[in-house]
Amino acid sequence: MTYKVTKSDQEWREQLSAQEYAVLRQAGTERAWTGELLDEKRTGVYRCRACSAELFRSDTKFDSHCGWPSFYSPLAGDSVELIEDRSLGMVRTEVRCATCGSHLGHVFDDAPQTPTGDRFCMNSVSLTFEELDES
Ligand SMILES: [Zn+2]
């Protein structure tokens, strides 16, 4: 996979905070219930914190009670990349930004209350939020 945005490890370290680097570039996970976007309910767009690509819209965000911001669908099918993740003795599906390859979180098919049944479980530090005027 070749990404539109590619940077060296050194460049990512300079651009991102230590916590952002640990999640986005080393597939870390922020502690549950600590993310700043968890309770964000305004209308707007969520972008990749590493490359600013648009990833999610607020109208697909839902309250999953899992401790991380959750969406039932990405903005477009090709805005994220899904990769099988067999770490930690589990089979999960990792979600990465399709533009820069940064780690965003995981997707689970355990949300029957949503239109897709999917729960894109994202790290707040992987995203930035931009409020849009609803009028
Ligand atoms: Zn990105």
Express each pLDDT in 12-47 by its tens digit: 999 999 999 999 999 999 999 999 999 999 999 999
Q: Where are the chain's structural domains?
A: 9-131
Instruction: Look up residue 30 and give its DSSP letter.
Output: P
Copy the structure tokens of residue 49. Answer: 């914190």
Integer Cα distance of 133 and 88 in angstroms: 42
**Count of helices and strands (H, E) across the chain:** 2, 9
Can 121 be counted among the known catalytic residues? Answer: yes
- Cα–Cα nearest to 127, from 47, 12, 68, 24: 47
Q: What is the pLDDT of residues 39-86, one digit of tens each?
A: 999 999 999 999 999 999 999 999 999 999 999 999 988 999 999 999
CATH number given to 9-131: 2.170.150.20
Q: Rounded to the nearest whole angstrom, what is the distance from the C-alpha of residue 99 to the centroid of ligand 1?
A: 5
Cα 97 to middle of ligand 1, angstroms: 5
